[in-house]
């Protein structure tokens, strides 16, 4: 069964705008990872945030984690057409399987 | 971060043949490896978990005789799709972790059965 659920399932924005995707999960975790997947391609690891961290930045990406609400958000600032992809959150308990959410399909319109 | 290499990245095979996919951890010892499958426009679903030197644990609904998993060493796991059929066409991704550290993913293998 899926542990995480991304919200929204689909998002369409204009180039230059910010995109925010949310992920909610059900049980405690060790870390949470965000991945990007271009259509028909493999996973690209974006960022990992540990359970004792609240916010992390990587370039135009900003990830937050709220363990009390069991939720995480991924913010992509100043979006580009090349950011068009599906984005998945993956929850990791540290010793068991990593479970993926259903993903958010982001479309950035040039 | 750690590197997990998956090979091949894509493969086309005839119906009825078997296909082997390799997953290697390049710079760490993968005590546990996971195999996922992704149907078009869907998320990744876990197929099985394998610990080095042990039999794989399959998720409910996954045929263990059809998807043979071998994890004979700390750096290599293989998934063999036996007697492949068109409905087995999918994207297969492996993941590996060393003891209680975070898991890392391979790039995936696109299997097309014709």
Place of tokens 């099985």: B48
| Beta bridge partner(s), residue B61 | none
Q: B105 vs A45: CB contact, 8 Å cut-off?
A: yes
Mutate to test the interface with B, among A45, A49, A97 (most CBs of B within 10 A): A97
At residue A89 the predicted structure's pLDDT band, cuts being 50, 70 and 90, is very high
Q: What is the pLDDT of residue A2?
A: 45
Out of A41, A98, A101, closest to residue B34 by CB: A98
Beta-carbon contacts of residue A1 (< 8 Å; ≥ 6 apart): none
Beta-carbon contacts of residue B48 (< 8 Å; ≥ 6 apart): B34, B35, B56, B57, B58, B59, B62, B64, B67, B69
Q: What is the pLDDT of residue A4?
A: 64
Mutate to test the interface with A, among B36, B102, B107 (most CBs of A within 10 A): B102
Taking only the tens place, the pLDDT of each residue in A8-57 is: 889 999 999 999 999 999 888 888 999 998 887 778 889 999 999 999 99
Q: Distance of CA A77 to CAs A23, A27, A62, A103, Å? A: 18, 29, 8, 19
Q: What is the pLDDT of residue A34?
A: 92
Taking only the tens place, the pLDDT of each residue in B65-93 is: 999 999 889 999 999 999 999 999 999 99
Q: A42 vs B106: CB contact, 8 Å cut-off?
A: yes
Q: Is the Cβ–Cβ distance between A35 and A44 less than 8 Å?
A: yes
Q: Which of B84, B76, B85 is nearest to B6 (CA)?
A: B76
Strands A10-14 and A104-109 come out as parallel
Is A50 or A96 the better-scoring residue by pLDDT? A50
d(CA B23, CA A5): 27
Q: Which residues of A41-50 are buried (b: 16+ CB within 10 A; e: fewer)?
A: ebbeebbbbe
């Amino acid at each position: 069964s899926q542990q995480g659920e991304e919200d929204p399932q689909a998002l369409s924005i204009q180039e230059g705008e910010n995109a925010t995707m949310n992920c909610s999960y059900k049980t405690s975790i060790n870390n949470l990872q965000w991945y990007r997947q271009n259509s028909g391609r493999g996973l690209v690891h974006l960022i990992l945030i540990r359970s004792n961290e609240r916010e992390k930045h990587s370039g135009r990406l900003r990830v937050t984690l709220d363990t009390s609400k069991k939720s995480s958000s991924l913010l992509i600032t100043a979006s580009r057409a090349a950011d068009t992809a599906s984005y998945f959150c993956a929850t990791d308990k540290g010793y068991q399987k990593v479970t993926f959410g259903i993903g958010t399909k982001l479309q950035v319109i040039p | 971060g750690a590197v997990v290499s998956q090979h091949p990245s894509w493969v086309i095979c005839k119906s009825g043949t078997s296909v082997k996919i390799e997953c290697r951890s390049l710079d760490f010892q993968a005590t546990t490896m996971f195999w996922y499958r992704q149907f078009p426009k869907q998320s990744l679903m876990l197929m099985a978990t394998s610990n080095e030197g042990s039999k794989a644990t399959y998720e409910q609904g996954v045929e263990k005789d059809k998807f043979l998993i071998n994890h004979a060493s700390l750096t290599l796991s293989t998934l063999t799709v036996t007697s492949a059929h068109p409905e087995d066409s999918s994207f297969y991704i492996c993941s590996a972790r060393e003891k209680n550290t975070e898991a890392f993913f391979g790039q995936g293998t696109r299997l097309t059965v014709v």
